[in-house]
Amino acid sequence: MKNIKEIVVEKSLFLIALSAIFMLFLIAVFIFKEGVPLITKIGLKDFIASAQWSPFEGKFGIFSMIMGSLWITLGALVIGVPLGLACAIFLSEFVHKNTRAILKPVVELLAGIPSVVYGFIGVIVLVPFIRQHFGGPGLSILAGAIILGIMILPTVISISIDALQAVPRSYREGSLALGATKWQTTRMVTLKAAQSGIVASIILGMGRAIGETMAVIMVAGNAVKIPHSILDPARTLTTNIALEMGFASGDHRAALFATGVVLFIIIMILNTLANYVLTQHKK
């Protein structure tokens, strides 16, 4: 039989968990309550597929911002995933466990650096470099992708290392016993066994990139137009909300909440995919 103290602790933790879920539910209800009427009013097609964003003229098309978010997020994945995966493989397979115990927390500390610091470094160092060597205004998709590529590294590296470390040691020993080299074992056995966990880290990194605001505001240029080059400025869904919510009212304010609805759905889909992949990995 459980004593009274254990029952109290158990029920208290259960209530705390429920309160967190309830708060998330309230946030979701509030966002949908404020945003869905505007989508219903102007039509989902006109809201999603139109690139005309001019709130004072009653035009609320977010297609250009969707494209900006996709361009910058894909660029961040192209930069961050290979670098993060390479770092995870090195730390998991090719260094001593004592060295890994020191380096892994150091890498994870990158997640604790405020995004405004990344944005400031981007404005001071990266933007002038792009402007001087590649042309364009410097404030661009490329700058945003590089900054976000660095910012998703802790997510990709940490989860990938955990996935690689979860592969049974017998897999490696069996491959080495058959004459495979260390790299062949890593590439053909360990990576394939940890594949679902690595995919989950990429999906979570993607969610991190899509949801970032401050750093992107500082380096992406925030132009409300469909980008045609990585050197073009762009505005993302998150930066649009952050830039205009302070002075928005009426339908304009509702349109920003509707943008939040779209972003909320995208993030929920990505998190659901990541949880599904992790669940498959544990089976």
Q: What is the pLDDT of residues 72-81, one digit of tens each?
A: 999 999 999 9
Whether the per-residue pLDDT at 204 is higher than 70: the answer is yes
Task: Identify any residues that bridge with 12 across adjacent strands, giving them in sequence order.
Answer: none
Q: Are residues 14 and 72 in the same domain?
A: no
pLDDT digits (tens, 9 = 90+) for 74-133: 999 999 999 999 999 999 888 888 888 888 888 888 888 888 999 999 999 999 999 998
Q: Are residues 123 and 215 in the same domain?
A: yes
Q: Are residues 190 and 227 in the same domain?
A: yes
Q: Is the residue at 91 inside a domain?
A: yes
Longest alpha-carbon distance in the chain? 72
Q: Is the residue at 56 inside a domain?
A: no
Q: Are residues 91 and 161 in the same domain?
A: yes
Q: Are residues 89 and 143 in the same domain?
A: yes
**pLDDT for the residue numbered 59:** 85
Contact between residue 71 and residue 235 where contact means Cβ atoms under 8 Å apart: no
Structure tokens belonging to residue 69: 């978010």
CA distances from 85 to 107, 115, 159 (A): 13, 22, 10
Amino acid identity of residue 279, one-letter, is: T
**pLDDT for the residue numbered 280:** 67
Whether the per-residue pLDDT at 15 is higher than 60: the answer is yes
Q: Are residues 151 and 107 in the same domain?
A: yes
Tally of domains in the chain = 2
Separation CA 72–CA 141 (nearest Å) = 6
Q: Are residues 130 and 17 in the same domain?
A: no
Q: Are residues 191 and 155 in the same domain?
A: yes
Q: Are residues 273 and 185 in the same domain?
A: yes
Q: Residue 12: in which H helix or E strand, if any?
A: helix 4-42
The arithmetic mean of pLDDT across residues 144-161, rounded, is: 92
Q: Are residues 14 and 140 in the same domain?
A: no
Give the other-Cβ count within 10 Å of 29's Cβ.
10
Residue 68 structural domain = 64-282
Structure tokens belonging to residue 149: 């590529």
Q: Is the residue at 55 inside a domain?
A: no
This prediction's pTM: 0.85
b/e code 108-131 from CB counts within 10 Å (16+ = b): eebeeeebeebbebbbeebbeebb
Q: Are residues 33 and 140 in the same domain?
A: no
